[in-house]
């Protein structure tokens, strides 16, 4: 399995688990509370592919990218009642918007994000939803075309890095139909 597939699988799994936990807590069926945050006390919130909570780097095993080291950070947020908290117990308020339309800028996507950044900051947004689909995804059955931009890892990495420089988090929203 390539590094891209492993990263994509991790992103999808973490997203599904996080949204399921949020939904269960919202419905009053939750199991996440202050004593069960989903991370190791004292860790910095980093998780590797093997579930080691203090890892900043993961080494890929097997496949064409074996031995390649990648760095990533999984942010842990949890719900208690009707509030969201970060890994340090600080309340977090998400203010966001969907940003996938900016990917449609083609090769000028960097300029588009840079041009819209002042507007994003002026609105006080701290979260941007980035819809994407994998290249082998079937079209949206209702419209016959993809409902999100086809994933381009270089673009996605650039956008996430760019946003993080300004304290803005990206929520990766996978729109696959097969």
Name the residue ranges covered by the structural domains of the chain: 1-93, 94-178
Residue 5's Cα: distance from chain center in Å? 15
pLDDT higher than 50, residue 92: yes
Above pLDDT 90, what percent of the chain? 18
Tell me which range, 14-18, 71-75, 86-90, is most confidently predicted by mean pLDDT.
86-90
The tens digit of pLDDT for each residue in 61-73 reads 455 555 555 555 5
What is the band of 155 on the pLDDT scale with cuts at 50, 70, 90? confident
3-state secondary structure of 57: strand
Q: Which residue has the higher pLDDT, 27 or 108?
A: 108
pLDDT of residue 77: 82
Contacts of residues 25-34 at CB distance under 8 Å and 24 or more positions apart, as own/partner, are 25/79, 25/80, 25/81, 26/79, 26/82, 30/79, 32/78, 32/79, 32/80, 33/78, 33/80, 34/80, 34/89
CA distances from 88 to 12, 24, 42, 94, 163 (A): 24, 22, 9, 16, 22
pLDDT higher than 80, residue 79: yes
Query: CA 147 to CA 68: how far, in whole Å?
Result: 32
Q: Report the DSSP pairing between strands 83-85 and 91-92.
A: antiparallel
pLDDT higher than 70, residue 129: yes
Poorest-pLDDT segment among 25-39, 78-92, 127-141:
25-39
Q: Mean of the per-residue pLDDT values for the chain?
A: 68
């Amino acid at each position: 399995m390539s590094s891209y597939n492993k990263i994509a699988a991790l992103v999808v799994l973490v997203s599904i688990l996080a949204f399921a936990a949020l939904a269960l807590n919202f419905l009053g069926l939750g199991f996440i509370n202050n004593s069960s945050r989903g991370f190791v006390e004292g860790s910095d919130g980093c998780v590797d592919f093997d579930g080691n909570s203090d890892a900043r780097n993961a080494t890929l095993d097997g496949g064409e990218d074996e031995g390649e080291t990648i760095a990533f950070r999984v942010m842990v947020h949890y719900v208690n009642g009707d509030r969201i908290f970060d890994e340090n117990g600080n309340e977090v308020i998400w203010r966001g918007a969907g940003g996938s339309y900016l990917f449609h800028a083609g090769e000028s996507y960097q300029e588009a994000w840079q041009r819209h950044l002042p507007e994003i900051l002026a609105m006080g947004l701290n979260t941007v939803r980035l819809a994407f689909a994998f290249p082998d995804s079937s079209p949206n059955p209702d419209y016959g075309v993809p409902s999100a931009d086809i994933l381009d890892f270089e673009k996605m990495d650039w956008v996430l890095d760019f946003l993080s420089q300004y304290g803005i988090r990206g929520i990766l929203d996978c729109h696959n139909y097969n």
